[in-house]
Amino acid sequence: MSARPDRFRFFLGAFGEPGHAFPMLALGARLAARGHEVTFETWSRWAQHVEAAGMRFVSAPEYPLFPGEGEPFEMYEAVVRATGQTRAAVATLRPHAVVHDILTLAPAMAGELEGLPVATLIPHLYPVGGAGFPPYALGARLPRTKVGRRLWGALQRPMEAGLRRGRADLNDARLRLGLPPVSRLHGGLSERLCMVGTFPQLEYPRCWPAGVHVVGPLMWEPPFSEVEVPPGRDPLVLIAPSTAQDPEHRLLRAALAGLRGESVRVLATSNRRPVAEPVDVPPNARLVEWVSYSKEMPACALVICHAGHGTMARALACGCAVLAVPHVGDMAENAARADWAGVGVRLPWRLLGPASLRLAVRRALAERSLAERARELAAWAAANDGAARSADLVEQLALGVGLGPGQSACAWGLARTNSISSGASPATTSIGSPEQLQSSTTARASVTSSGRQIAP
């Protein structure tokens, strides 16, 4: 296959929830702006935005995830079915490289079957553990003592049982597709190029595997006009709930009630999700259905969120400290890292209420070090474009040149705790692999009683 070094064909595939589709959209838009031919396979809800960014849109194959023995969903059955359809598109386009989201394995399988270089985009923290690390998504912080490291080290082998089950499921799917088994526990991640779209300051120090690059957040959002914020000079606090979780808007309601009468201005969004019961909006607040984070966050003193990675990363890139109230999945891990890095306060979901949230907001606004550290991360983000760095790496992959040794080990200092409670968040789950970690949470929220389907 011949290639011109100034123009390549790329095939991208991503799970359709904003936290996964938006980072891939950022990468695809950057590649398209450089003159490359980019095809993006994802949910149809993003077709208009994909095409507006100069890419070709392909609707992702969607199959219902159904209950199975011992697992919430038979994810790999959907992956096997989807791979055939995706492979046909890949074979027709003959891209120089395939990039798949951590939740979207069909493009990875299709690329491998076609003998193409495959890269993985992880739009959040690196989910692979390290020596002495607590289990990913548990919400526990990196231990500060030898005793703590020994404790997590002793539990590492029993915790790997779920990873081995995940590898067995993955290898069964690979066998059905005619691919050889993998021996790695995290076999869904590319060994050639794995891009981690988060701040290096949020990653625990480790010896990074070859091919793994922490590139910084990849940020994209739908175009939206500015909104009117409450008048006055008091600090502006943004309530930015998850776009996929908390259907009863518990965080939104607790925040509006808890901040009534406080010396703050409150801008809150429902993120276009239905609000079943009326919400009482206090005089110092304004509730809107959607907000452009890139336009509104720079003026905020604090962002209250569920600790979804996309929202948290955008807040930090804008220099805003966060109040993280993790609910499910990897949100507890994100909140723990914000706490560890000194850029936020975390409030466990089980303690969420108007009074506890009010106290947490007061603390977050009073601790100047949080805002100072958040501004440091904003300065880093301004000098390090995650989408541009990822595009550089993908171009090198297409060229077939060496990608270097990967991310250098970091030596970030351990930040003091900013947790509102010393207890770990209850938002934990037993997981089998990085793919299963995300599918067991995101997919559960995506499948409804009406049989909504997801793209594997």
DSSP 274-306: ---S-----TTEEEES---HHHHGGG-SEEEE-
d(CA 377, CA 362): 22
Kindly provide the residue ranges of all beta strands, DSSP E only, lying in 111-159, ordered along the sequence.
118-122
Q: Provide the percentage of residues in the chain whose pLDDT is more than 90.
A: 64
The 10s digit of each residue's pLDDT in 119-167 is 999 999 999 988 778 888 777 888 778 777 777 777 777 777 788 888 9
Structure tokens at 12: 């991208």
Residue 238, classed as helix, strand or coil, is strand
Q: How confident is the model at residue 175 (pLDDT cuts 50, 70, 90)?
A: very high
> Which CATH superfamily is 9-216+384-413+421-446 part of?
Glycogen Phosphorylase B; (3.40.50.2000)
| Range 236-380 classified under CATH 3.40.50.800 | no
Q: What's the pTM? A: 0.85
Q: How confident is the model at residue 45 (pLDDT cuts 50, 70, 90)?
A: very high
Mean pLDDT score across all residues of the chain:
84
Please list the residue range(s) of the chain that carry CATH number 3.40.50.2000. 9-216+384-413+421-446, 236-380
d(CA 387, CA 169): 32
pLDDT given at position 414:
35
pLDDT given at position 286:
94
Least confident piece of the model among 42-51, 113-122, 211-220, 437-446: 437-446
d(CA 52, CA 35): 14
pLDDT beyond 70 at 14: yes
pLDDT given at position 278:
82
The mean pLDDT value for 226-238 works out to: 93
Q: Which residues of 208-222 are buried (b: 16+ CB within 10 A; e: fewer)?
A: bbebbbbbbbbbbbe
The 10s digit of each residue's pLDDT in 381-403 is 999 999 999 999 999 999 986 66
Q: State which H helix or E strand residue 98 sits in.
A: strand 97-101
The 10s digit of each residue's pLDDT in 308-359 is 999 999 999 999 999 999 998 889 999 999 999 999 999 999 999 999 999 9
